[in-house]
Amino acid sequence: MELYVFDGTLEGLLTAVFDCYQRKAGTVKIVSQENFHPDVFQESFTVVSADEKANRVWAGLRKKLDKDWMLRFYKSFLSENPDTFQDLLEFSRYILDNPAGAGENFGNKHVLAVSQMAQKVHREKHRMEAFIRFQQTADGIFYAHIEPDFNVLPLISDHFKNRYADQKWIIYDLKRKYGLYFNLETVEEVAFDFTTEMSPALNALPETLLDPKEELYSLLWKDYFRSTNIPARKNMKLHIRHIPKRYWKYLSEKQV
Amino acid sequence: MFERIREKLEILADAAKYDVSCSSSGSNRKNTNKGLGDSEGSGICHSYTEDGRCVSLLKILLTNHCIYDCAFCVSRKSNDIKRAAFTVEEVVELTMNFYRRNYIEGLFLSSGIFKNADYTMERLVRIVKKLRIEERFNGYIHLKTIPGASEELLKEAGLYADRMSINLEMPTESGLKLLAPEKSHEDVKKPLDFIQKNIVQLKDEKSLIKSAPKFVPAGQSTQMVIGATPETDKEIMHTASNFYKDFSLKRVYYSGYIPISTDTRLPIIGSQPPLIRENRLYQTDWLMRFYGFDVQEILNDANPNLDIDIDPKLSWALRNLDQFPVDVNTADYKMILRVPGIGVGSAKKIVQARKFGRLHQDQLKKIGIAFKKARHFIRYADSPLQLRDFEASHLKGVILSESTSKYLKTPQNQLSLF
């Protein structure tokens, strides 16, 4: 077995697939630089990300997989999960080695694993689309920050851009320390240097920064949330299944 | 200054909550005018109340003043409750500001009937028109059709709304007459039919002229109250099935009656809403819409009510053991879909995966079928040799004893009332 170390980027992962073929590799274990702990007894090969190699692998996969599968591949990658990196490598080799259509073989464990991880990432993306709560700042920007399980900002960008086309907004990922800013024309990536650690709680922005009407609407929303509940049907188990507790920090209606 | 609007919202959201529809999907209103909102494709549940229901729309009444006195309705004329009414501007402001903060997918606007049908409908239309035209709002709008309103108003409403609905209220005409003598199913059918015809007509036009306007792009729905009157499940689902067919409804909702009245015609206040029964009805609805079942197979004269302890698909399978076991490696997709414990997603994966080789137990488990339940009804590459056929009652016992169903642990809260 050979150990491949890559830089954690999609380009790097695809380059590793290319290298497998170029080096006529047997079984390969892939690990990202971040998770790599050098071991004296194990030799490793460092993958050097290369556009050209990555593009060739991507194009090769595209010949064998449909558009949905390509998106699933990308979503799985955004999980940043070490096991998924391994699954993606083996999935790619399996797809490239077989005639088109092999993506339908859910009996293959890597095909299934990649597709299931894509589903998980998709769910997290969907949750962010649902649970993000903007606060309007005094300068008219709608601000929210999140700490998603997976790196979903690239996946939610279009959704928010299409939806909130007439307002400026920022969605910031505190965990990965970057965000999206929509300036009414385009979405750009931004990084802030928060001098102090920003609390993940929703109401982290000081009141002085907020639009004077913000308080009213978050209050009305809380009122609405309470009024629309039917106590005779109370079912906390179902409630928590739909909104797991780790997401409550985003939801203004769940704050006391 | 906040207090008045807070009180109004409290009253008018509380009065609207018995309408269970929260769907915000199925429309195709793209944000093409650089306005606010986009309702293309699937909907989003932005929150869930403590009763586990989805919150995707700002669901309010324009007013809870009403000229009718329907026994099952909290806003009935004779009920001594606080009354309120929003202004057009208030509804528009609330919708826009909630939407901008990503609280909601759009507006669900209903109303008590004040003065008459046209007067009420005209105000509803004024709100949606202002949202669409002045505010360039492209979020989802679900608008109640007020039975008896003029066709001109309904036609105008349909140009701005994504979905429209009218509630049947009670599953049968006789049930409705008992609790709301002033209403009838005919009053509901007429406008449903009128709007349906317009949807079809505009769809035809749209295929010729691209610029033809949208008309209720997410279709129509209705709702029935369950457990307020003595209908059988068969009567309920046959009514639903007919409405799906006759008016191409997108959804029928079943709302377990929540006692809100001391009227002797109704279950007493404090009695449990029939939540399990409601759940079984939805399962049946799904079997009809996504699993290729005809209502007659599930509910008929021999079986007028659904089992409470097991789901309707399992119940059907136990009555039709001659159709099992199903070999997942050879059977039709349609038949795989009928196996208890296999859903639409897994069934599709199975028929794709088996092209690459016969499927074994561990693969089926990983694909995500409810194996414990399904194993009694299927054969697969390494299925154990089965020497004797089980009887339905025995099989039911085995499945129930192995199941972790949420229903079995709780005492049955549904007494047969009638």
**φ and ψ at B326, to 5 degrees?**
-100, 130
Token readout for B335 is 């038949």
Q: Residues B2-29: what's their mean pLDDT? A: 91
- Lowest-pLDDT range of A174-183, A246-255, B154-163, B218-227: A246-255
Q: How far apart are the first and last CA of chain B?
A: 51
How many domains would you assign to chain B? 2
Same domain, B66 and B198: yes
Is residue B403 scored above 60 in pLDDT?
yes
Domain-located, residue B276 = no
CB contact under 8 A, B9 and A105: no
Q: Is A249 exposed, middle or buried (0-12, 13-18, 19+ CB in 10 A)?
A: middle
Residue B384 DSSP symbol: P
Please confirm whether the linkage preceding B259 is cis (ω < 30° from 0): no
Bridge partners, residue A182, by sequence = A169, A187
Is B415 a domain residue? no
Domain check: are B37 and B178 in the same one? yes
Whether residue B146 is contained in a domain is answered as yes
Q: Give one DSSP letter per residue of B15-44, joined into a string.
A: TTTT-------SEEE---SS-B--EEES--
A230/B357 touch (CB, cutoff 8 Å), yes or no: no
| B178/B31 same-domain check | yes
Is B306 a domain residue?
no
Final residue belonging to a domain, choices B222, B256, B279: B222
pLDDT band at A197 (very low <50, low <70, confident <90, very high): low
B387: pLDDT strictly greater than 70: no
**With an 8 Å Cβ cutoff, are A243 and B94 in contact?**
no
Residues of B in contact with A126 (CB under 8 A): 44
Chain A residues in contact with B37 (beta carbon < 8 A) = 163
- Average pLDDT (B205-216) is 84
- We report the CATH number of the domain holding residue B44 as 3.20.20
* Nearest-angstrom CA–CA distance, A177 and A92: 30
Residue B19 lies in a domain: yes
Cross-chain Cβ contact B102/A126 below 8 Å: no
What was the pLDDT predicted at B416? 45
- Mark whether B62 and B188 lie in a shared domain: yes
- Residue B388 is predicted with a pLDDT of 64
CA distance A209 to chain B (A): 16
Interchain pair B366, A130: CB under 8 A: no
The answer on B57 and B190 residing in a single domain is yes
Q: pLDDT (tens digit, 9 = 90+) per residue, A212-230?
A: 999 999 999 999 999 999 9
Per-residue pLDDT, B413: 44
Question: For testing the chain B interface, which of A114, A161, A202, A230 should be mutated: the one with the most B CBs within 10 Å?
Answer: A230
The last residue of a domain, from among B187, B222, B257:
B222
In a domain, B274, yes or no: no
Would you say B317 and B377 are in contact if contact means Cβ atoms under 8 Å apart? yes
| pLDDT exceeds 70 at position B141 | yes
What's the CA angle centered on B86, arms A219 and B99, to 5 degrees? 50
Same domain, yes or no, for B40 and B172? yes
Do residue B30 and residue A230 have CB atoms under 8 angstroms apart? Answer: no
The answer on pLDDT for A66 being more than 80 is yes
CB-CB under 8 Å, A112 with B35: no
In this predicted structure, the answer to whether residue B410 has a pLDDT above a threshold of 60 is no
What's the pLDDT at A206? 79
B352–A230 C-beta distance less than 8 A: no
Domain residues for the domain of B373 are: 322-409
Q: Which residue of B has its CA nearest to A247?
A: B47
B219-223, B237-241, B250-254, B382-386: least confidently modelled range: B382-386
Looking at the predicted structure, is the pLDDT value of residue B239 above 90?
Answer: yes
Q: Which of B191, B222, B253 is the last residue of a domain?
A: B222
Length of chain B: 418
Query: Among partner residues A105, A216, A233, which is closest to B356 by beta-carbon distance?
Result: A105
Beta bridge partners of A28: A2
**In angstroms, rounded to a whole number, what is the distance separating the alpha carbons of residues A244 and A239?**
8
Residue partners of A80: CB distance under 8 A and separation at least 6: A8, A150, A151
B17 and A230: CB-CB below 8 Å?
A: yes
Interface probe for B, chosen from A233, A234, A248 (most Cβ of B below 10 Å), is A233
> Residues B98, B142: contact at Cβ < 8 Å?
no
Closest Cα in chain A, distance from residue B46 (Å): 4
Query: What is the structure's pLDDT at A100?
Result: 92
B346 touches B371 (CB < 8 A): no
d(CA B249, CA B28): 17
Same domain, B158 and B26: yes
Cα distances (Å, whole numbers) of residue A224 to A55, A213, B12: 51, 17, 9
Find chain A residues with C-beta within 8 A of B97's C-beta: 213, 217
> Contact A166/B136, CB-based, under 8 Å?
yes
**Is B229 among the domain residues?**
no
Nearest to B36 among A136, A164, A229 (CB): A164
Closest Cβ opposite residue B31 in set A101, A165, A251: A165
Look at residue B239 and tell me if it is in a domain.
no
Both B331 and B217 in a single domain? no
Q: Are residues B206 and B327 in the same domain?
A: no
Question: What whole-number distance in Å separates Cα of residue B77 and Cα of residue B85?
Answer: 15
Confidence of residue B313 (pLDDT cuts 50, 70, 90): very high
pLDDT of residue B404: 66
